[in-house]
Amino acid sequence: MKTKHRAWVAIFSLAFAAGGASAFKPNQEEYGHEMIARKLLSEGGYSYGGRTVPRYVVGGVPFSDAAIGEVVYGVNSRDWIGADVYHCSGLLVPGGSVACKVTLAGKDIVITGDLYRADAHFDDNGFTKSGDAIYRLIRGDVLWERGPTVEEIPVTFAGMSVIDLLKKYVVDVPPNSTPTVDQKQILSVARVKLGKALHTLHDFYAHSTWADNYGSDSLFLPITDNLLKPTSDIGPLFLPFKLSLGEDGHNERFTGDVCSPRFPTFVIPPGSPIPYVTWANNGGNWEITTFVTNNKIISSGSFSSAISGGKSVNGIGFASDGLGAELGNARCDHGNQPTLAAPLGYPTSGIAKDAPSWPLQDITPGAAATVLHERASHQAAQHSAILLNNLVQIIRTDNSIADSNRMIAALLMWINHRHGQCW
């Protein structure tokens, strides 16, 4: 979410809290983020829409059920917002997240809810920022967690990455000993941050034109290749691909409409002071142009404001750099489908593939899963396995790690596996 639109976020947050626009629709066991992560790590593996990915294991050893639950917790937290919907305070952590008090490993901790973080979801052409955020969560400095929240309650293990936390665990806990509640918490937070990284990776496929341009088995590997570098330097990895790298709507490398521009018609429903778009005359740029198709341009939908459509970056009066800044270069919109629980959300068409009936293409959503939704979900599942493989490779090849096998066992939650104990 761009700074200019943060005021609108506060207005819209209640409307979106119970089911507005989000990525691959969290907390859904049937589809989306939770389904992708849980099935990939569980017995039987990923299976959806007739496409499969084998269960992820390390040397034949899977994640334990309890570890899977904590990874999924992190996956879902990337879409949490305020209003105490998910134990979140509604108060901002520096950088756009909110503070969420939860109980993991038998102890209360504070993690972040990240729905409106600009780098959490690959929205608004933020490819470099979101790619770097994945790196930070896995092996860098999770800098947005540092410093107290508005309530002056620090995020638990603020700034520490998955690798940092696993290293801390093997240093703090002697081999073959029983970890304390506090020590178990180290691993819980590590798995939560792994889940957050997986969510952001999923969103590349849910929110961009990649699935529109490439088949089910084609993956955008620079995101995870970057993890193997000693420091994050993802920009050069993007150069062979035709990405609209300009953030805030600028197409720095290409000139042309990414989606055909459309203008919404606003109505004010009875009893509501907030105008919104009806499905009958639905705004939002969703129709990808031949320019994108012929050149395989990769761009992501605009999520900077709930109001969408038009020739500017994100609609009438909401262009991030002023009206007219992007005339002639219309962006695609993310798209949003309000629910009965959140009826004031703005219904708009867009390219996001979050739910089975999406992308929203100027029609009332139906029940049948679209090919694009199923393709993007399969791409996300396959790439998740590669991210996990790269994490294991980092642990095994890092010369500063003395006990890589124990770190991997701790991540999988088989701490004293030789003794039949699982923590």
pLDDT band at residue 345, thresholds of 50, 70 and 90? low
* pTM attached to this predicted model: 0.85
SS3 at position 348: strand
Secondary structure (DSSP) of 397-416 = H-TT-S-HHHHHHHHHT-TB
Q: Are 114 and 94 in contact (CB under 8 A)?
A: no
Task: Specify the pLDDT at position 57.
Answer: 97
Q: pLDDT over 70 for what percent of the chain?
A: 69
SS3 at position 210: helix
Residue 272 pLDDT exceeds 60: yes
Residue 418 pLDDT exceeds 60: no
pLDDT in tens, 279-326: 455 567 888 989 888 888 898 888 754 334 333 333 332 333 333 334
Task: Specify the pLDDT at position 26.
Answer: 47
Max mean pLDDT among 91-105, 107-121, 270-284, 352-366 falls in 107-121
Task: Specify the pLDDT at position 414.
Answer: 74
What is the residue-averaged pLDDT of the chain? 78
Residue 268 pLDDT exceeds 70: no
Q: Cα separation of 422 and 48, whole Å? A: 30
Mean of the pLDDT values across residues 226-241? 90
Task: Specify the pLDDT at position 263.
Answer: 65
Task: Specify the pLDDT at position 346.
Answer: 57
pLDDT in tens, 119-176: 999 988 889 999 999 999 999 999 888 765 555 678 899 999 999 999 999 999 999 8
Q: Are 81 and 16 in contact (CB under 8 A)?
A: yes
Dihedral of the alpha carbons of 33, 34, 40, 41, in degrees to the nearest 10: 140
Task: Specify the pLDDT at position 65.
Answer: 95
Task: Specify the pLDDT at position 420.
Answer: 38
Task: Specify the pLDDT at position 197.
Answer: 98
Q: Which of 2, 104, 19 is nearest to 337 (CA)?
A: 19
Task: Specify the pLDDT at position 295.
Answer: 86
CB hemisphere CA count around 282 (13 angstroms): 22
Q: Which of 59, 68, 77 is nearest to 41 (CA)?
A: 68
SS3 at position 111: strand
Mean of the pLDDT values across residues 62-90? 84
Residue 336 pLDDT exceeds 80: no
Q: Are 183 and 172 in contact (CB under 8 A)?
A: yes
Task: Specify the pLDDT at position 386.
Answer: 98
| Distance from the Cα of residue 346 to its chain's centroid | 21
Task: Specify the pLDDT at position 321.
Answer: 30
Lowest-confidence segment of 31-40, 159-168, 229-238 by average pLDDT: 229-238
